[in-house]
Amino acid sequence: MEKNVFKTTYKVEKMDCPNEEHLIRMGLKDLTNVKSIVSDIPKRILYVYHYDSPDEITERINNLNLEPRLITTEKFNDNAQTDVKSQKKVLIQVLIINLFFFSLEVITGLLANSMGLVADSLDMLADSIVYSLSLFAVRAPTSKKKLVAAVAGFFQMSLAILGFIEVIKRTIGYGDDPDFKIMIVISLLALIGNAICLYLLYKSKSEEAHMKASMIFTSNDVIANLGVIVAGIFVYLTESRMPDLLIGAIIFLIVARGAYRIIGLSR
């Protein structure tokens, strides 16, 4: 006899970005009665589809200190099963694309003396970490997921700090001016890569929290790519390194902020 599926809705006040969403998924992943998780980050609403009582689910979410509030629990008549293999395939594809463009941007960024490209490469690396954690979350226990997230967060934060120090050094006169042509061309290629990732994630039509989080991270990458392209154009027009340093500093700060959240939420 097939078990009844219930839909429990929570209002999570501190779920304001994909990092909190991913932490919730990690915290609930080892519960055998959880069927799937869907969230609406702008509205801070979390939907958990599960079997049996939601008591343990509610306790786990409360322990994350994200100010959750249980709204309703109701019977849900939908027997659709999550296609885990399909999700893993898509995540592996976007992970490979992100790692490739991370390598390309960091190498060409150093060769072109562009802090914008180097910072954007770290943004791609941050996405790769999110995709890797999503893949790791399929089978691993919660304690290991949190450990991996903490290590990844500290590593990401270290790179962001080193990058920001380099921006300061170049602002006061160290280093050569960036090559705007390389900035624009490589960022255009990265933009195409992120567009492919978005297409693959969208085509999966998954409502799982980690898949939606991956789409949000990739959408943010598109904005960063466009920022580096615009910075490259202004480097050419102004004959100054400042547009490149400015976009680099902004992206480094974004990466550092994401790393800080991951570190805090993995405790």
Q: What is the pLDDT of residues 134-166, one digit of tens each?
A: 666 555 555 565 666 677 778 878 888 888 888
Contact 180, 232 (CB under 8 A): yes
Pairing of strands 5-12, 45-51: antiparallel
61: CB partners within 8 A, 6+ apart: 10, 12, 24, 27, 28, 46, 68
Report the CATH number at residue 31: 3.30.70.100
What CA–CA distance (Å, rounded) separates 230 from 54?
49
Assess whether pLDDT exceeds 80 at residue 58.
yes
Q: Tell me the mean pLDDT in the region 89-113.
A: 89
In the chain, alpha helices (H): 18-28, 55-62, 84-111, 115-136, 142-171, 180-204, 209-238, 242-265
Choosing from 25, 49, 76, the residue where a domain stops is 76
Residue identified by tokens 């990058």 is 163
The confidence score (pLDDT) of residue 62 equals 92
- Please check the confidence at residue 131 and state whether its pLDDT lies above 60: yes
Given 18, 49, 76, which residue is the final one in a domain?
Answer: 76
Give the number of domains in the chain.
2
Shared domain check, 14 and 88: no
* Global pTM value: 0.62
Q: Among 76, 100, 129, give the residue marking a domain's end.
A: 76
In the block, which residue shows the tokens 């490259």?
A: 232
| Shared domain check, 112 and 166 | yes
Based on the fold, state whether residues 103 and 231 are members of the same structural domain: yes
72 and 103 inside one domain: no
Q: What does the alpha-carbon distance between residue 112 and residue 258 come to, in Å, rounded to a whole number?
A: 26
116 and 220 within one domain: yes
Domain membership of residue 216 as a residue range: 84-265
Quick: pLDDT tens for 47-57: 898 888 899 99
At residue 214, the pLDDT reads: 65
